[in-house]
């Protein structure tokens, strides 16, 4: 989703920028393996609370409302559906953003991470890791089993090193506007474009693939 379906590096970064905070240090700590994903989320929420102590899920929803969507998405999902291909989102991003784009563009399902709130809707500082960034292939395989598709029938699309495990579980993988060398090396095709519909040339030949 982030950097592929949304024309922005990530849903987390979008909220950071709306709130006027910088999480670059925490991002580097995560990349270096010094903190895990759960701690990464804690630190991100803590940054937001330095600006708004009573940060709520409604505030996050409002912040995400205007995230820019990549051109060609409606056409792409409609074309895949016409060809009998299911489309799902597997993202380490915020599930509010994933839900909005999935429902608004006719995806078959989505999985992303949830911010935990108290009874008043205020963020408590923790998250539910529905998608493990260290192995997004786990959630991808769950979708493959649900939709009863084989590895050979599955296409994975991503843009960074966290997508490599998905690529390993797919019969074909596309690095879309890649941001690091790892995802390029793991991919079967690289697509540099401002329009997501350009991936269709790779997915629809042969036509018996399903995207996940």
Q: What are the pLDDT digits (tens) for 87-113?
A: 999 999 999 999 999 999 999 999 999
CB 204 within 8 A of CB 189: no
Per-residue pLDDT reduced to its tens digit, 72-94: 999 999 999 999 999 999 999 99
Q: How far apart are CA 24 and CA 13, in angstroms?
A: 9
How many degrees, rounded to 5, is the angle at CA 177 between CA 64 and CA 71?
55
Q: How far apart are CA 153 and CA 140, in angstroms?
A: 13
Confidence of residue 206 (pLDDT cuts 50, 70, 90): low
**Which residue, among 122, 134, 190, 126, has the nearest Cα to 162 in the 3D structure?**
134
* pLDDT of residue 211 exceeding 60: no
CATH architecture label of 11-211: 3-Layer(aba) Sandwich (3.40)
3-state DSSP call for residue 85?
coil
Instruction: Note the pLDDT of residue 209.
Output: 46
Burial track 145-167 (b if 16+ CB lie within 10 A, e otherwise): eebebeeebbbbbbbbbbbbbbb
Q: What residues does each domain of the chain span?
A: 11-211
Q: How far apart are CA 137 and CA 145, in angstroms?
A: 12
Confidence of residue 31 (pLDDT cuts 50, 70, 90): confident
Q: Which two tokens stand for residue 6?
A: 């949304």
Question: pTM for the complete prediction?
Answer: 0.90
Cis peptide before 105, with omega less than 30 degrees from 0? Answer: no
Q: Residue 3: CB partners within 8 Å, gap ≥ 6?
A: 9, 10, 159, 160, 177, 179
Q: How far apart are CA 52 and CA 83, in angstroms?
A: 47
How many degrees, rounded to 5, is the angle at CA 186 between CA 185 and CA 189?
85
Weakest-pLDDT range from 25-29, 114-118, 121-125, 168-172: 25-29
Instruction: Note the pLDDT of residue 135.
Output: 93
């Amino acid at each position: 989703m982030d950097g592929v379906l949304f024309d922005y590096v990530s849903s987390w970064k979008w909220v950071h920028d709306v709130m006027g905070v910088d999480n670059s240090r925490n991002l580097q700590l995560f990349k270096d393996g010094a903190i895990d994903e759960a701690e990464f989320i804690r630190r991100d929420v803590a940054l937001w609370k330095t600006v708004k102590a009573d940060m709520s899920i409604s505030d996050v929803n409002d912040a995400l409302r205007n995230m820019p969507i990549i051109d060609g998405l409606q056409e792409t999902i409609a074309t895949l559906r016409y060809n009998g291909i299911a489309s799902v989102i597997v993202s380490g991003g915020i599930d509010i953003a994933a839900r909005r784009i999935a429902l608004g563009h006719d995806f078959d399902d989505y999985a992303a991470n949830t911010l935990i709130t108290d009874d008043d809707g205020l963020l408590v500082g923790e998250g539910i890791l529905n998608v493990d960034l260290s192995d997004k292939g786990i959630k991808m395989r769950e979708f493959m089993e649900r939709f009863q598709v084989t590895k050979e029938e599955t296409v994975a699309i991503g843009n960074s090193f966290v997508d490599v495990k998905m690529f390993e579980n797919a019969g074909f993988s596309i690095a879309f506007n890649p941001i690091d060398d790892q995802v390029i090396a793991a991919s079967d095709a690289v697509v540099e474009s401002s329009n997501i519909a350009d991936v269709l040339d790779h997915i629809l030949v042969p036509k018996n693939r399903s995207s996940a």
